[in-house]
Amino acid sequence: MYFTYIIRCKDNTLYTGYTSDIKRRVEEHKKGINCKYTRARGFEKLEVYFETNTKSKAMKLESYIKKLTKSKKIIIIQNPHCFIKEIDLENDYVVGS
């Protein structure tokens, strides 16, 4: 399984990434390792993640989300199921939070 996720940092910025191990990756962000962005800004919480069966799909969703404005990312966090439905990927992703 692969995951695309959005993290809120202590300075209220949002970080989007992908991984094959969401628990390990969140722990790395908490410890400030393997990511300059969250090391500099501090980890606040995992806001939402999307699970899929291929690395390619996880990377494509990450790229799509990274191009969005912060206000649109907040809408995704508030309504992740609607977001997946809106971009017509209901069969490709499972929402978690």
Q: What pLDDT score was predicted for residue 92?
A: 61
Q: What is the pLDDT of residue 51?
A: 93
* pLDDT at site 81: 86
Note the pLDDT tens digit of each residue in 7-59: 999 999 999 999 999 999 999 999 999 889 899 999 999 999 999 999 999 99
**pTM, to two decimals:** 0.88
What pLDDT sits at residue 82? 86
- pLDDT tens string 77-91: 999 988 887 776 656
Sign of CA pseudo-dihedral 89, 90, 92, 97: positive
Q: Can you tell me the distance from the alpha carbon of 49 to that of 11, in angstroms, rounded to the nearest whole number?
A: 20
> Can you give the pLDDT at residue 61?
94
**Residue range(s) defining the domain that contains residue 82:** 2-96
Q: How many domains are contained in the chain?
A: 1
The CATH number of the domain where 27 resides is what?
Answer: 3.40.1440
